[in-house]
Amino acid sequence: MPGLRPFGASGLRLSPLCLGGNVFGWTADEDTSFAVIDAYLAAGGNVIDTANIYSWWGRGNQGGESETIVGRWIAGRGGHDDVVVATKVGMAGGPDQPKGLTRDQIRRGAEESLARLGVERIDLFYAHEDDPETDLAETMTAFDELVREGLVGTVAASNYPADRLREALAVSERDGLVRFEGLQPAYNLLQRDQIEDGAGEVCREHGLGVACYSGLARGFLTGKYRPGGELPASPRSKGVAQDFFDDRGFAVLAAVDAVAEAHDATPAQVSLAWVMARPGITCAIASATSPEQVQELTGAMELTLGVDDMAALDAAGR
């Protein structure tokens, strides 16, 4: 079973692969979502990552569907003491979820997430994206109140640029407030700017955890996209092709294929293992729509890439 990793100074310990809940209520119905979560825990994982807006983009959805499914799963097993449940607030999505990190929006978001999840405390609560229109002191004070009231365990940031993350940490220190204990950026072999343009340095300086989403570049790095081939039957396919179908994208995929063949692994396992092995990274986040996919993805936690493997993959993505 994979070892757990500390997430900042929070006391939380996370598995190297976290389960993304963005597909729950969208491309995975409730029964499938339950099976996916069960398979993930059986493979040694311990983190479910969702958000108050997931999955508002699905047909007929309003937002909150993913949290509701996770909440029903928790109720069905009588608790989640062995599982870290992470959710988020502050990003626009659906008719009732406006963008913003004012005190009222954070408080309302937390209360609604608690109700959907059916829990007394959110283990890990992210600011989903920066809100430059709201004073950071107001934002961090709101998070501080929730932690002191016992409604939230740990707070962290998602999609914050380096300068705003550094400023938020300074505000917490100045005012004696809880601080962000981690960052959730997009990070994979093809999308590296959020970490490598300064935010990673801030995290290292302050001892923050880093939980990376989009470790598979929205599925491109699984190998199911090929030059000249038909696009997979996925609602994301056209966007993936637009963003990654170029010389750099296919060069990275070729490097991933070579490493995968050498290790008798899949491209998805290699791509996630690369993220997990990068300096300062706590975990990679990936979603699955079947227990079989879970089995494949969690295999990345057992894959050890050598120095030459890491160098080849790193070079291909430059």
Q: Which of 157, 248, 222 is nearest to 194 (CA)?
A: 157
H or E element: which one contains 20?
A: strand 17-20
60: region left, alpha or beta (phi > 0 left; psi from -120 to 50 alpha): left
Return the number of other C-beta atoms located less than 10 Å from residue 148's C-beta. Answer: 11
Q: Exactly one of 54, 126, 213, 225 is catalytic; which is it?
A: 54
- On the 0-12 / 13-18 / 19+ scale of CB atoms within 10 A, 88 is buried
For residue 200 the two structure tokens come to 């990673």
For residue 217 the two structure tokens come to 């570049």
For the chain, the straight-line distance linking the first and the last C-alpha, in angstroms and rounded, comes to: 33
CA dist 52 and 216 (Å) reads 23
- On the 0-12 / 13-18 / 19+ scale of CB atoms within 10 A, 167 is middle
For residue 11 the two structure tokens come to 């006391």
Beta strands in 132-200 (DSSP E): 152-158, 182-184
Answer yes or no: 160 catalytic: no
CA dist 187 and 285 (Å) reads 10
CA dist 264 and 272 (Å) reads 15
Between CA 250 and CA 258, with CA 255 as vertex, the angle to 5 degrees is 125
CA dist 17 and 44 (Å) reads 9
| Residues annotated catalytic, as ranges | 54
